[in-house]
Amino acid sequence: MKAQAREQVRCAVYTRKSTDEGLDKEFNSLDAQREAGEAYVASQRYKGWFCLPDRYDDGGYSGGNLNRPALARLRQDIADGKIDVVVVYKIDRLSRSLCDFSELFHDFERNHVEFVSVTQDINTSTSTGRMMLNILMSFAQYEREIITERIKDKVAAAKKKGMHTGGYPAIGYASDPKTHRLVVIPEQAELVRRIFEDYLRLGSVKQVCATLNAEGLRTPEWTSTKGRVHGGKEFTMAMMYDMLDNPVYIGKVRHYDQIYEGEQEAIISQELWDGVHSTLEGNRRAEGAQHILFTPMRGLIRCGHCGGFMKSSSTKRDKNRYYRYWVCDKDMRRSVSICPLKRAPADDLERIILEHAMSVLSRPELYAGLKRVMDECHPEANMTMETLRSAGGDLQEIWEYLYPIEKYKLIRSLVAEVRVFRDRIDIEYNVKGIGSLLKEQVESGGQGSSAASEKTVLKAGTLKLVELPGGNLLEVIPCSMRYNGRSTAVIETDGEKKLVPETMNPIQKALTQGLRFCAVMEGEEPPASLTALAAQTGMDRTFLYHSMEMANLAPDIQKAIVDGLVPRDLTLKRLRKGIPEAWVDQRKVFGFQNLPV
C-alpha cells in the first residue's frame, strides 16, 4: 500500500506474549519488544516518524485468534484515523493465523496504514514485499499448528499415566501446588457422596439441585493462581450432569472417549457409580430420542418475564402425534421453576404472530413512519405513500398462496422481536425491514395475481401501534395463558370479548359447538326442530342435543371452561351423563364450588 506524504508519521508499537510468565519482572519480554520497535521508529525520524505514547501490550494472549484487548484497541484507533504505521518485533507477534492476519492486513489497506516488522525486512508497498509477507505468515501458522500438535500429544501421554493436566479441579479435589496431583478435600468429598446417593435415591437431577439449593448449599469456593475466586454459586442441572458423568470420582481420568486409571484417590465406590449410571441410562431411554421440528421463529421469541429466549419443545402424547410448545429456556435451566409463563402452545402463539404481523400492513399509522424511514435510507427509490400502500396490499393478497417456509421468512423481515408475557404478547415491528421488503416488492413489479386479487385482504388490526425510540413500532396484544393440567391454550382477548383458540380441549370444543347451535336455533330464521337442524348440518340429532345442553351450564362455569380452569377429574363423558338444572348443584357436582358467584 502506498503511504501518503506526511510531515509527521504516527507510529504505534504492538507487543504480545503468549503466556503471562515473567510479566511481573521489571523488564520483561513486552518491554524488550517495545524498545526494539521504538529504536526502529527513531531510525526513521528523518522521514517524520515518531512513536505514539499509547502502549498496545497483550500479555498472556495467544496469537491464534484476534480476541485480545490491546489489539482491539489498536484496530479501533486505526479505524478512527489515529495511526499511520503499525510496528511489531516479528510478524507472529501480531498473529500466527494466516486467515486472521489477512483480515488485519485488509484493515491496514482500507485505512492507508503501513505495516513494519523490525526483525524482518518487509515492505508492504511492493508486490514482492506482500508475497514475502504471506510466505512468512504461512510459516508462522505452520509453526503454531506444530506447537498445538505437540501440546496435544503431551496431554494425551499424561492422561494415559493418569495425571491431572491442569484446569479447574473437580468438586471434592484440589491441585497440590508442588506435585500438581489431585488430593481429596474431606468436607467436599462428603458433599460429592451425598449428591451421588441423592440422585440414586431420587432419580432426578432437578430434584437434587432443588434440595441442595433450598438448604442454602453452594458450590465450594477456590482461588486460582491469578487470584480469581471461583465457585460460591447455586448448583445447576448442567453442573450436576457433569459431576455425575465425571470418572475422576472413581479414581480414573477421561481423555476424549478413552478412560484411564488415575493417580488420584477415589471418592465414591464403583458400585455407587454403576448404580447412578444405570439410572442415568434408564432416564435417557425413557425420554427417548428428541423429536426435531422445524422452528423458523427460533431466536425471534423471548420470555417477557425472564428476558431470555424461548425455545421450541415437543411432547408425544398419542401414538404418532406431537404437541409443540414454546418454553422459557432460562427457566428450563433452573433447578426450581420461577417463571410465571410456564409454556405457550406453539400453534396458538405462532398463529397470533402471523395474523397480526400481516395485518400490520393494513395499518395507516405504519406508513407515516415508513415513508420517513424510506426517505432516509433509500432516497434514490423516491417511494410515495401510495406506492408503499400498494406494495403492502400486494403482499397481503399473495399471503395465502405462500408456502409455510416463505411465510416465516417474510415474518422475520417484518418482526424484530416478540416478547411473551402471561397476560399479553408484545410484537416489535422492524420498520426498516418492512421498508426493504416493500422496496423489493415494488422493484420486482410484484402485483397480486388474478386469482389472488379475488381474495379478501387481511383486516387491519385495531390495537394501537406505539413508536419506539429506534423507530420501530410496538403492538401490545392482550391475551391469557390458560392451563387446565392437561393442555395449554393462548386465548387472545379484546376487552371483555374472548376469542376461543384453534386448539381446544374436548370440553371447550363441546361448549363452543353447543353455543353456536343454540344461536342458530334462536336466530331470525331458525330450523323448525332439532331434527331439521340435524338435516341442515348433516350431524346426528343426539350429538346436537348433548352439545346444546352445554349451554345450560351456569355462566361462571362456562367462563371457567373457556379460561381453561377445568377440574382435573372432569371429563366430557361425565358432563354428558346429565347436567343438573340448578346452578348451585352444577358447581357442586362438577367441582366448581370455589368459583366467584
Co-location of 23 and 36 in the same domain: yes
CA dihedral angle for residue 554, residue 555, residue 558, residue 563, rounded to 10 degrees: -140
Each residue's pLDDT tens digit, 184-221 = 999 999 999 999 999 888 888 888 888 888 888 888 88
- pLDDT attached to residue 147: 82
Largest Cα–Cα distance of the chain, in whole Å?
Answer: 109
Nearest partner of 277 among 246, 299, 303, judged by Cα: 246
Each residue's pLDDT tens digit, 396-408 = 777 767 666 667 7
Number of domains in the chain: 4
The pLDDT confidence band at residue 51, using thresholds 50, 70 and 90, is very high
Quick check: 17 pLDDT over 60?
A: yes
Each residue's pLDDT tens digit, 431-490 = 888 888 787 777 776 543 333 333 333 444 556 788 888 778 888 888 877 655 445 556
Active-site residues: which are they?
18
Better-predicted residue by pLDDT, 392 or 52: 52
Of 71-85, 247-261, 441-455, 509-523, which gets the smallest average pLDDT? 441-455
Q: Is residue 161 part of a domain?
A: no
Co-location of 297 and 408 in the same domain: yes
- pLDDT attached to residue 597: 46
Domain-ending residue, one of 258, 287, 316: 287
Q: Is residue 572 part of a domain?
A: yes
Q: Is residue 158 part of a domain?
A: no
Q: Is residue 18 part of a domain?
A: yes
Co-location of 124 and 237 in the same domain: no
Quick check: 533 pLDDT over 60?
A: yes
Co-location of 485 and 561 in the same domain: no
Each residue's pLDDT tens digit, 342-392 = 788 888 888 888 888 888 887 777 777 777 777 777 777 677 778 878 887
Q: What is the DSSP string of 3-60?
A: PPP-SSEEEEEEEEESS-TTTTSSS-HHHHHHHHHHHHHHHTGGGTEEE-S--EEEET
- pLDDT attached to residue 317: 63
Domain-ending residue, one of 452, 478, 502: 502
Quick check: 10 pLDDT over 90?
A: yes
Cα 241 vs. chain centroid, distance in angstroms?
Answer: 21
Q: Is residue 440 part of a domain?
A: yes
Co-location of 346 and 476 in the same domain: yes
Tell me the residue range of the domain where 271 lies. 173-287
- pLDDT attached to residue 454: 35
Rounded distance between C-alpha atoms, residue 62 and residue 75, angstroms: 17
Nearest partner of 195 among 161, 165, 172, 216, judged by Cα: 172
Each residue's pLDDT tens digit, 408-445 = 778 888 889 999 988 889 999 888 888 887 877 777 76
* Count of CB atoms situated within 10 Å of the CB of 176: 11
Co-location of 407 and 548 in the same domain: no
Q: Is residue 163 part of a domain?
A: no
Rounded distance between C-alpha atoms, residue 259 and residue 247, angstroms: 8
- pLDDT attached to residue 320: 62
- pLDDT attached to residue 369: 74
Average pLDDT over every residue of 154-176: 86
Co-location of 360 and 277 in the same domain: no
CA angle 452, 455, 457 (to 5 degrees): 105
- pLDDT attached to residue 1: 44
Co-location of 234 and 261 in the same domain: yes
Co-location of 326 and 275 in the same domain: no
- pLDDT attached to residue 457: 37
Sole residue written with cell 362438577 = 590
Average pLDDT over every residue of 272-287: 79
Co-location of 368 and 497 in the same domain: yes
DSSP state of 381: G
Where residue 229 sits, what CATH number does that domain have?
3.90.1750.20
* Count of CB atoms situated within 10 Å of the CB of 156: 13
How much is the mean pLDDT over the chain?
A: 79
Co-location of 460 and 416 in the same domain: yes
Sole residue written with cell 408475557 = 421
- pLDDT attached to residue 25: 84
Average pLDDT over every residue of 128-155: 78
Of 98-102, 252-256, 486-490, which gets the smallest average pLDDT? 486-490
Average pLDDT over every residue of 21-28: 83
- pLDDT attached to residue 318: 60
Rounded distance between C-alpha atoms, residue 396 and residue 424, angstroms: 25
Co-location of 207 and 59 in the same domain: no
Of 268-282, 426-440, 513-527, which gets the smallest average pLDDT? 513-527
The pLDDT confidence band at residue 39, using thresholds 50, 70 and 90, is very high
